[in-house]
């Protein structure tokens, strides 16, 4: 999930540890999974993280919208996901 990479990048820009960002919002291990794209964060958690990072919570909705559009394009084109699904997603989103 791209939102996780955005959170990671912004956290590092602000020189925050995972512990500092997560405190009062979620566990450090859950934040780590978000940043690594292993889980889709709950809406409340995502909004709180983005707010603490000084980012617009609408970024989460925009990212979700792009993910759904990508999935729709995959179905329409009958493209089978491969090991390089991330690169394919980037190519499709760049053409928009």
Global confidence as pTM? 0.63
Domains along the chain with CATH numbers: 2-56 (1.10.260.40), 61-94 (no CATH)
Band of pLDDT at residue 3, cut at 50, 70 and 90: confident
pLDDT at position 1 = 43
Selected residue with higher pLDDT from 81 and 7: 7
What value does the mean pLDDT take over residues 55-75? 67
Hey, what long-range contacts does 23-31 have (CB within 8 A, 24 or more apart)? Answer: 25/49, 25/52, 31/7
Classified as helix, coil or strand, 34 is: helix
* 14-31 tens-digit pLDDT: 999 999 999 999 999 999
53 has pLDDT over 70: yes
């Amino acid at each position: 999930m791209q939102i996780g990479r955005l959170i990671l990048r912004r956290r590092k820009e602000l020189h925050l540890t995972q512990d500092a960002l997560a405190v009062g919002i979620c566990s450090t291990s859950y934040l780590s999974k978000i940043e690594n794209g292993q889980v889709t964060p709950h809406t409340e958690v995502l909004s709180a993280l983005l707010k603490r990072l000084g980012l617009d919570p609408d970024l989460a909705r925009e990212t979700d919208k792009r993910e759904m559009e990508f999935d729709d394009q995959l179905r329409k084109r009958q493209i089978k996901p491969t090991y390089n699904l991330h690169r394919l997603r980037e190519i499709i989103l760049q053409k928009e």
